Amino acid sequence: MADTSPRTDDSTDGDTDHRDLGSEGALVNTAASDSSDRSKDKLDQKTLRRLAQNREAARKSRLRKKAYVQQLENSRLKLTQLEQELQRARQQGVFISSSGDQAHSTGGNGALAFDAEHSRWLEEKNKKMNELRSALNAHAGDAELRIIVDGVMAHYEELFRIKSNAAKNDVFHLLSGMWKTPAERCFLWLGGFRSSELLKLLANQLEPMTERQMMGINSLQQTSHQAEDALSQGMESLQQSLADTLSSGTLGSSSSGNVASYMGQMAMAMGKLGTLEGFIRQADNLRLQTLQQMIRVLTTRQSARALLAIHDYFSRLRALSSLWLARPRE
Amino acid sequence: MKIKPSSSSTSSLSWLTSSSPKPSSLSSKRSNILVMENAVVVFARRGCCMGHVAKRLLLTHGVNPLVVEIDEEDDNIIIEVGQTTVNINKEKLPVMFIGGKLFGGLENLMAAHINGDLLPTLRQAGALWL
C-alpha cells in the first residue's frame, strides 16, 4: 500500500507541472528572450521579483497539490480499510445479534457466555495442536508425543464439560450450532461432529496400519455409527412423543374447562424437552469414547497424526466458512 | 430372552425374607425377579427416549432387552442381588442390569459398546450365544 501512493502522486504531479509550466513557461520564455537581448529593454528589478515570486508561488502550489493528492490517496486507503472493517463487523454483528436474540428468548445470556468460552477453547486448542505439529515435525520421541496427545484429549474432555454445562442453560443454542461456522453447521449432528464420519476421513491418513489396527478402526467406525443411529432414533422418538403430547386430546377447542388439561399437556411436553440435554450429553460422551478408543487402537505417533488430521479438517471447514461469508454477493 | 439365575444369585434369596421397603407400584420383589430372570433388563421412565436409545443399542447386538417402565408416581427402585442392595435413583434412569448385575447407565452402555467390552459381557450373561 505504501509504495503505490507515491507513484500515483508522481503521475498527478506530472500533470500539474505541465499545466503550470504552460503559464509560467510563457513568462520564462519572455524573460529568457528578454535576457538574451540585454542591450534593449532591461527588465527592472520589479519584474524579476515578480517572476521569482511567480515561480515560488507555482512551486508552492505544486507542493500543496502534491500534499493534497497524497492526502486523498491516504483517505482512499483508509476508506477501503474502514469498509473492510465494517463488512467484518457486519458479519459478526449478524452472528452476535442472532445468538443474542436466542439467548434472550431462552433464558439469560448463557449462549453468549458459551460462545466466548468456546472461542477461548478453540484458541487454546490451536496452541496445543501447533505444539503437537512441531513435535511431530521435529521427530520427537513417543514419550514427549504422548504427553501432548494426552493434553489434547484432556482438552476435548474440557470441551464436553463446557458443553454439558451450557446445555443446562440453553440446550437449543447448542443444538442450533450457532456457535460454529456455517460450513461446520452443515455437518452438525446433535450439537457436534459425527465421530463415525471423522473416522472415515482418517482411514486414508494413517497409513501404514497393521491388519489389527485396520480392523480396530473399522469396527470402531461401525460401533460409533450404531451408537449414533441409536441416539438418532431416540431423538426421533422424542419428537414423535412430543408431537403426540401436544396434539393429544382437545386440539383446537378453547373452552376454559380445558385449561387444566392444557397446562398438564404443556408440563408433560416440558418434561420431554428436558431430555434434550441428555441427548447432547450422550452424544458428547459417544464422541469422547470414540476418540479414546481410537487412541487405544493407534500408536502414539499415529494418534498424534490422527488428532492433527481432525484438527486440520475442522480448520479447513472454518476457513471455507470465512471464504463463503466474504464471497462477493451480487 | 430368559436365563436361569446365575449361581451367585441363587445362593441368597435374601430379598424374599427381608422386610419390604416402601410400597410401590413396581414392587422391589418384582424388580428383583425381573432382574434375576432376564439376561438384560433396562429400567427406564415411561416413554423416556433415553430408554429407547439403550434398547436400540442393545438390539444392534441382537439382544432384545426387557424394558421395565417406571411411572412418575413410582418410588426409587431397590434391588437386592445377593447380599448387596442396589438403590436406583429415579433421576439416574435409564439403568441397565446385565446377567443379574448392575451394569450402569447409558453412559456406561455407550462406553462398553465403543470399547468392545459389551459383547463379552452380554455373552457371559447368556444374552448372546454367538
How many percent of chain A have pLDDT more than 90? Answer: 53
Q: What is the pTM of this model?
A: 0.68
B26 within domain boundaries: yes
B130 within domain boundaries: no
Chain segment A161-220, per-residue pLDDT in tens = 999 999 998 999 999 999 999 999 999 999 999 999 999 988 888 888 899 999 999 999
Q: For position B85, what pLDDT does the model report? A: 75
Q: In a mutagenesis test of the B interface, which of A238, A242, A245 is the best target, namely the one with the most B β-carbons within 10 Å?
A: A238
Q: For position A16, what pLDDT does the model report? A: 43
Reported ipTM exceeds the 0.85 cut: no
Mean pLDDT of the A138-153 span: 94
Mean pLDDT of the B69-86 span: 74
* Residue B101 in grid coordinates: 448385575
Q: How many domains does chain B have?
A: 1
- Residue A282: exposed, middle, or buried by beta-carbon count in 10 A (0-12, 13-18, 19+)? buried
Report which residue type is found at B28.
S
Q: Comparing A225 with A272, which gets the higher pLDDT?
A: A225
Q: Residues with Cβ < 8 Å from A284, sequence gap 6 or more?
A: A160, A163, A164, A191, A192
Is residue A33 within 8 Å of A41, Cβ to Cβ?
Answer: no
B118 within domain boundaries: yes
Q: How confident is the model at residue A142 (pLDDT cuts 50, 70, 90)?
A: very high
* Least confident residue range of A57-66, A99-108, A258-267, B9-18: B9-18
Pairing of strands B40-45, B95-98: antiparallel
Task: Give the domain extent around B103.
Answer: 3-125
Q: In a mutagenesis test of the B interface, which of A226, A270, A292 is the best target, namely the one with the most B β-carbons within 10 Å?
A: A226
Which of residues 63 through 122 in chain B touch A, CB cutoff 8 A?
106-107, 110-111, 113-116
In this complex, is the C-beta atom of A258 within 8 Å of any C-beta atom belonging to chain B? no
In this complex, is the C-beta atom of A297 within 8 Å of any C-beta atom belonging to chain B? no
Q: For position A173, what pLDDT does the model report? A: 93
* Least confident residue range of A54-58, A84-88, B9-13: B9-13
B44 within domain boundaries: yes
Q: ω into residue B94 within 30 of 0, thus cis?
A: yes
Q: For position B6, what pLDDT does the model report? A: 38
Q: Comparing A33 with A279, which gets the higher pLDDT?
A: A279
Strand partners, B14: none
Chain segment A204-222, per-residue pLDDT in tens = 888 888 999 999 999 999 9
Mean pLDDT of the B42-56 span: 88
B74 within domain boundaries: yes
Residue B108: give its domain's CATH number. 3.40.30.10
Mean pLDDT of the A131-136 span: 95
